[in-house]
Structure 1
Amino acid sequence: MTTPAQQPGAKDTAARRRRPARLLPERGPRRTLAGATFVNALGSGMFMSSSVLYFTRVVGLPMSQVAFGLFAGAMVGLVAGVLGGRIADRWGARETQIAVMLSGAVFMGCFLLVDAFWSFVLISVLTGVVFAADKSSRAPLVRSFGGDDPARFRAYLRAGTNLGISLGALAAGVAIQLDTAPAYLTLVGARALAFVGCAITLLWLPRPVPVEVPPLSGRWEALRDRPYLAATVLNSLMSLHFAVPTFLLPLWIVEHTEAPRWMVSGVLVLNTVLVITLQVAVSKNVSDPASAGSRMRWAGGAVAVGLLLMMAAGDLSMWASAALLLAATAVYTLGELWHAAAAMEYSFGLAAPHAQGQYSGVFGLGGGLAEALAPAVLATLALGLGRSGWFVLALVFLFVGCVSRPLVSWAVRTSPRPRTYEGPVV
Structure 2
Amino acid sequence: MTLSAVRPGLRRLLWGRGVSALGDGLWFTIWALYFTRVLRLPAPTVGLAMALAGGAGLALAVPIGALADRHGPRGVLITVTLVRAAAMAGYLVVHGTVAFLVVTVLFTAPANGATAARTAMVAGLVGGDAERVRTLAGQRVAQHVGYALGAGLGALVLSADRPAGYLAAIGGDAAGFLVLAAVTATVPAVAPVARSRTARVRPVLRDRPYLAVVGTTAGLSLCWAMLSTGLPLWVSRSGRLPLALSGAVVVISSVGIALLQVPASRLARGVGASARTAVRSGVALAASCVLLATTGAGPVPVAATVVVVAALFHVAGELGFVAASWGLSITLMPEDARGAYQGASEAATATVQMFAPAVFTLALTGLGAAGWLLVAVVFLGCSAPLPALARWAQRTRPEPRHTI
Name the TM-score, length of structure 2 as normaliser.
0.93
- 1:28 aligned counterpart, secondary structure: helix
Once residues 165 and 335 of structure 1 are traced to their aligned partners in structure 2, the CA distance between those partners, rounded to angstroms, is: 20
Instruction: Note if contact 2:200-2:337 (Cα within 8 Å) is conserved in structure 1.
Output: no
Any residues of structure 2 matched to 1:322-333 within 5 Å, and which? 322-333=304-315
Structure 1 residue 119 displacement after superposition: 1.2
Structure 1 residue 147 displacement after superposition: 4.5
- Higher-Rg structure is 1
Structure 2 stretches lacking a partner, 5+ long: none
* Number of the residue aligned with 1:196: 178
Instruction: Note if contact 1:258-1:316 (Cα within 8 Å) is conserved in structure 2.
Output: no
Structure 1 residue 213 displacement after superposition: 7.1
Structure 1 residue 246 displacement after superposition: 0.7
Match of 1:154 among 136, 141, 156: 136
Runs of 4+ in structure 1 deviating by more than 3 angstroms, as ranges, are 209-214, 216-219
CA offsets 1:290-328 (integer angstroms, 9 cap, x no match): 111101110110000000111111112221111111110
- 1:313 aligned counterpart, secondary structure: helix
Instruction: Note if contact 1:29-1:145 (Cα within 8 Å) is conserved in structure 2.
Output: no
Match of 1:107 among 80, 87, 93: 87
Match of 2:246 among 245, 252, 264: 264
Once residues 26 and 96 of structure 1 are traced to their aligned partners in structure 2, the CA distance between those partners, rounded to angstroms, is: 19
* Number of the residue aligned with 1:340: 322
Once residues 14 and 165 of structure 2 are traced to their aligned partners in structure 1, the CA distance between those partners, rounded to angstroms, is: 29
Which residue identity lines up with residue 424 of structure 1 in the other structure?
A: T
Match of 2:277 among 289, 295, 298: 295
Structure 1 residue 127 displacement after superposition: 1.0
* Number of the residue aligned with 1:9: none
Once residues 383 and 349 of structure 1 are traced to their aligned partners in structure 2, the CA distance between those partners, rounded to angstroms, is: 40
Structure 1 residue 181 displacement after superposition: 0.1
Structure 1 residue 197 displacement after superposition: 0.4
Instruction: Note if contact 2:58-2:112 (Cα within 8 Å) is conserved in structure 1.
Output: yes
Once residues 256 and 411 of structure 1 are traced to their aligned partners in structure 2, the CA distance between those partners, rounded to angstroms, is: 44
Greater RCO (CA < 8 Å, at least 6 residues apart): 2
Which residue identity lines up with residue 343 of structure 1 in the other structure?
A: S
* Number of the residue aligned with 1:424: 403
Structure 1 residue 210 displacement after superposition: 4.5
Once residues 366 and 224 of structure 1 are traced to their aligned partners in structure 2, the CA distance between those partners, rounded to angstroms, is: 14
Of 156-165 and 143-152, deviating more is: 143-152
Answering whether residue 112 of structure 2 is matched by residue 132 of structure 1, we say: yes
Two-structure CA RMSD over aligned residues (Å): 2.0
* Number of the residue aligned with 2:339: 357
Structure 1 residue 240 displacement after superposition: 2.0
Which residue identity lines up with residue 266 of structure 1 in the other structure?
A: A
- Change in 2 beyond 3 A, CA 1:257/1:311: farther
- Change in 2 beyond 3 A, CA 1:424/1:157: same
* Number of the residue aligned with 1:70: 50
Give aligned-pair identity as a percent.
Answer: 29
- Change in 2 beyond 3 A, CA 1:213/1:287: farther
- 2:95 aligned counterpart, secondary structure: coil
- Change in 2 beyond 3 A, CA 1:218/1:113: closer
Name the TM-score, length of structure 1 as normaliser.
0.89
- Change in 2 beyond 3 A, CA 1:314/1:367: same
Of 52-61 and 139-148, deviating more is: 139-148
Structure 1 residue 129 displacement after superposition: 2.4
